[in-house]
Amino acid sequence: MPQTPLLSVVVAVYNGELFLAKFFACLEAQAIEGMEVIMVNDGSTDGSMAIIDAWRDRFPGMLVIEQENQGVSVARNTGLAVATGQYLSFPDIDDDFKPGMYRRLLDLALASNLDVVTCNGNYVYENNRKPSRPIFPEDKLQSTGVMSGPAWLKKALDSRKFLHVTWLNLYRHDFIREHGFKFEPGLRHQDIPWTTEVLLAAQRVQYTNERFYDYYIHSASVSHKPDTDDTLIRSARHYIKILEMLEAINQRYPEQVKNIPACNWQIAKEGLGILHTFNNMKDPQKKKMIVKEFFDRGIWRLIWKNARGFRLRWRLGRRYLKLKKATRVPG
């Protein structure tokens, strides 16, 4: 009977030919015996499949799944559905992760039967146009012992420097399976609701501030292209959906959330981001349309309800009249 792999690495691939060779080299350098590698080719139209095929021999039992392009969430869910490992990881193909990352995280996870184990990383800028810096500043978040997921989420959100990402973490597969957690299809920044709910449900979490992962900020990234009114509208709709999901999550975990005021704060904070998106729009008619949708879906009420403290409400209140004015544009 085949032994259960310690780790399943679930990888979404879409037009990744520029990054895949480096990604596979990072994966090989982890030197985890019996690691299960699941590559989900999400409708790539470039040479990604040829590169994946060229590396198959280096990863015995690599599972390659091809599907029509449906986005990173569906690709991750596809891989998650067939994964058999004790722990799961979801790295991005255009980043670097250091030798020893997965071994170190697995050692922590196995020693304490963790639901989630997480580490630190670096922001690294293309062509070194800015100095690299830690994702979580070490004066704000230091290594922890084993703690509950809600306690870690509170600590992390209270730092105001927390980044909702999957790729710094390993997840205990049975924990993910028991709760039926999946990524939200078609949603950009789906890591925000995923991470929030996973941590609210987790009982055993540990963080090490060792920096194992380089997150590259580069011009080929979708999230760093110049915006148009249409891309701003799409972004606003993604964040509106995220706020609705965060509110539903808060209602599913009332006992945990009542001790974490930052669960309300993050709804208000992401809401301010939506208002900033509206400010950057040029076409008054398009702006009127999306602002009306924002009010009609009850998002203003949701943000206001979750804004705690005078300063946050003052910042929102200043924008309210401008928003209402935008909905009165003729036409």
Report the CATH number at residue 195: 3.90.550.10
Judge whether 156 lies within some domain: yes
Residues 155 and 214 in one domain: yes
- Residue 331, pLDDT score: 64
Residues 235 and 321 in one domain: yes
Q: Using the 3D structure, point to which of 182, 207, 223 is the last residue of a domain.
A: 223
Residues 19 and 165 in one domain: yes
Residue 237 sits in which domain range? 226-326
Give φ, ψ of 199 to 5 degrees: -70, -35
Residues 163 and 270 in one domain: no
Residues of the chain with pLDDT under 70: 1-2, 219-225, 331
DSSP output for 176-243:
HHHHT--PPTT-TTTHHHHHHHHHHH-S-EEEEEEEEEEEEE-TTSGGGSPP-HHHHHHHHHHHHHHH
- Residue 3, pLDDT score: 83
Q: What is the pTM of this model?
A: 0.93
Beta strand extents in 14-131 (DSSP E only)? 36-42, 63-67, 87-89, 96-97, 116-125
User: What one-letter code names the amino acid at 2?
Assistant: P
- Residue 284, pLDDT score: 92
